[in-house]
Amino acid sequence: MSCTTILVGKAASNDRSTMIARTDDGHFDVKKLVVVEPEKQPKTYKSVLSHLEITLPENPLRYTACPSVDPKDGIWAATGINAAGVGMTATETITTNPRVLAADPLVEYKKPKSRREKEVPGGIGEEDMVVLVLPYIRSAREGVLRLAQLLERYGTYESNGIAFNDENEVWWLETIGGHHWMARRVPDEAVVVNPNQFGMDAFDLDDAFGEKKAHLCSADLREFIAENCLDLNRDGVFNPRNIFGSRRDMDHIYNTPRAWFMGRYLAPYSHSWDGPGAEYGPESDNLPWALVPDRLVAVEDVKYLLSSHYQGTPYNPYSNQDSGKRGMYRSIGINRTGVTALCQIRAGVPEAIRGVEWVCFGSTTFSAMLPVYANADKMPKYLSDVTLDVSTGNLYWASRLIGALADSNYAACIQQIERYQDAVMAKGRQILREYDAKIAAGDAPALIAEANEALAKMAGERSTDTLNKLLLEVSQHMKNGFNRADN
């Protein structure tokens, strides 16, 4: 599933929180935000797509999830924060190359061709990972280690990147072929930007096979690289992207431009991004995976980037100036996003409210991002009670409707969209501040539920108001409009 990921270390954020965020870009997947209580977590898990059956550990933690409303293809939990204050987002579909796939093939489901044959289960994939990992971990590092065990035992049928965060650390794991993997702790002062490509451009093998402070990998990774002649690097440099990643023409249209735009926003002064002498361009193969931003990063920055469509460049599909390059690159904010979630693990607040999940349904370009406390018994119905039929009674469908209306007449509607997005963000922050203070001195479970209901109610009111305004605006621009004065 094509997505875009941003990871923020605690020293790179404005409030010392860690953040992991990802757009879940399916095919208009209908999504909801729910809480999974321990008694609802299955004892045995069976994947719908790969038919793999796995016995799960005892004593799972409560966690949030953004599953698909229609379960026909599986749960696809996407992202969440558990009761221990650990966040996870899974997955960012990434690229690899034929050399890797030949050396360690993906583990694909094999359907029996006759009644005499038995089916062969496939490995684990995006459908499964959050359910298999998030309820059983108490730190970001533990998330990497549990997922690594599953990959080594069962394999995977796709190439993916997975992020974890806790109060102090952010970790990123990338799969390599069917069973191999590598993971790196995001430097505290850095921000990582990752489109649908193998991302890591540096890795300390000595640390991975030594103290394991910030690097982890498959136990046989060195041998795997050497025996299969995978290393394309020169002069002793170890760049994993050159070994396990891709370098295709399609990357220059679909992937690298997104990383370029995000880097350009985050570090406009430290590097040059535009013009013939630029250090990096939208089709550069050496775009940095992690960089130190020129200023500290807030939730609003992450939302802006995950909503972006090359504003201020010749590639903006909504530009009224046709440069001949308009719409030539894949935007980050895309029409078919199901949900975008930002898992924020905060510092300096009571443990009960450390995890805040910011959720945005539909196309991020037009939708608002709403915060909720993750450590809750349940989510408000406006976020969790989503049907497959279109409705204005929940945030998912309200967001989809807002996006469809605004896209059809961008110039006339964008001001209303910006007001809507800012209002939900500002009022959401205001409610969080109010309840942070109350919860520090009160009944946390009851107040968390009260706060989340207040947040959902506010989002519903703002969304309805915006729908009213957009519908009127778009109706006035319908092509079949006609006045007597037109004669």
Phi, psi dihedrals of residue 414, rounded to the nearest 5°: -60, -30
CA proximity to 32, closest of 388, 293, 332: 388
Q: Which helix (H) or strand (E) holds 6?
A: strand 2-8
**Active-site annotation holder among 3, 66, 343, 360:** 3
259 phi/psi in degrees, rounded to 5: -65, -40
Backbone φ and ψ for 148, nearest 5 degrees, come out as: -60, -40
Cα separation, 192 vs 88, in Å, equals 15
Q: Is 343 labeled as catalytic in the residue annotation? A: no
DSSP H or E stretch at residue 136: none
Half-sphere exposure of 406 (CA within 13 A, CB side): 28
Length of the chain: 487
Cα–Cα distance measured from residue 378 to residue 15, given in angstroms and rounded to the nearest whole number: 27
DSSP string, 179-227: TEEEEEEPPTT-EEEE-SS-------HHHHTTT-SSEEE-TTHHHHHHH
Rounded Cα gap, residues 314 and 372, in angstroms: 37
Q: Which two tokens stand for residue 370?
A: 């709403």
Q: Which residues of 267-294 are buried (b: 16+ CB within 10 A; e: fewer)?
A: beeebebeeeeeebbbebbebbbbbebe
Closest to 233 in 3D by CA, of 214, 205, 252, 213 = 205
The phi, psi pair for 260, rounded to 5°, reads -60, -45
Phi, psi of 451 (to 5 degrees): -65, -45
Q: Which helix (H) or strand (E) holds 391?
A: none
For residue 452, give the amino acid letter: N
Name residues whose C-beta falls within 8 Å of residue 358's C-beta, 6 or more positions apart in sequence: 21, 299, 303, 341, 342, 344, 369, 370, 371, 372
Q: CA 205 to CA 211: how far, in whole Å?
A: 10
Amino acid at 351: E
Q: Which two tokens stand for residue 79?
A: 């992202």
Q: Which of 433, 68, 448, 391 is nearest to 382 (CA)?
A: 391
Name the residues annotated as catalytic. 3
